[in-house]
Amino acid sequence: MIDLRQEKFRSWMIEHFGMAFNSANAYSIAIKRISRHYSEQSGQATNLYAKTRSAVVREIARKYSQAGIYSDFGNYGNGTNRAAINRYVDYVEARERADNRNSNGQTPQLFQEPQEENLADYSANITYEKDLKVALCHQISELFPEHRIFGPGRQGVEYAIKGKKIDILLENIKEGGLLAIELKSAAANYDVFGQISMYLGLLKTEFPERDARGIIICGEVNEGLRAACLTNPNISLKTYKMSLHLRDP
């Protein structure tokens, strides 16, 4: 049976790395397998899903590295165990960063426990924006040459700044300039211009030495938004087109 902590790790991998369900599920199961193995080898009952400090998880992961004392077990499943625990280190580190940035004492949305009465409130647009975000993150090098996702561990995905969240924050590999991306799966109006303008102001405050630009990517452009973007050369506007690809299973 999969517990809630395991399920949240699996969902995080799908959301932030675009992993297929079966791959993410295999990784989440591998963490259980490593927990059992580490418990047997160390003589201490260990559940990695109960570990909340990245330093602790990273130290355990080191033991399953190529140079670690449990490297053979790390190689299990063509290296699935090692890859899974390394991804779990990323997950715990992401939780720590989110907790540190959360100034009002509430758990960020990514890590909140889902409230059953609110599950029906999620619209198709929200789901589609998440799909759009995953697809875009997989094509950064193609769509935005010389850019990468800002920070370690994909920190730039839903980048938190002053209580706000930028959908995707990129940085220019050569020049260090920042590019804030705001995604709207459906039509976007001029309110989005004010939103991304605010993000650019916050970025200039936090990173005064860096250039900051913004881009709005939406399914349909409202004329008010088109007019607003003409007033600021640092904010560009793009629409997208999703395509369907079929392949043999």
Q: Which domains does the chain have, with CATH numbers?
A: 4-117 (no CATH), 122-239 (3.40.1350.10)
Query: 3-state class of 105 per DSSP?
Result: coil
Whole-number percent of the chain with pLDDT over 70:
84
Q: Which is it for strands 212-221 and 235-239: parallel, antiparallel or unpaired? A: parallel
Q: Quote the CA–CA distance of 179 and 148 in Å, as a whole number.
A: 10
Q: Quote the CA–CA distance of 125 and 128 in Å, as a whole number.
A: 5
The model's pLDDT over 136-195, given as tens digits with 9 standing for 90+, comes to 888 888 889 899 999 888 889 999 998 889 999 999 999 999 999 999 877 788 888 999
pLDDT band at 119 (very low <50, low <70, confident <90, very high): very low
Q: Which is it for strands 147-149 and 164-172: parallel, antiparallel or unpaired? A: antiparallel
pTM: 0.50
Is residue 124 predicted with pLDDT exceeding 70? Answer: no
Q: Quote the CA–CA distance of 184 and 181 in Å, as a whole number.
A: 10
**Maximum CA extent, the chain:** 66
Q: Across all residues in the chain, what is the average pLDDT? A: 83
Q: Dihedrals φ, ψ of 164, to 5°? A: -110, 170
The model's pLDDT over 34-91, given as tens digits with 9 standing for 90+, comes to 999 999 999 989 999 998 888 999 999 999 998 899 999 999 888 899 999 999 998 9
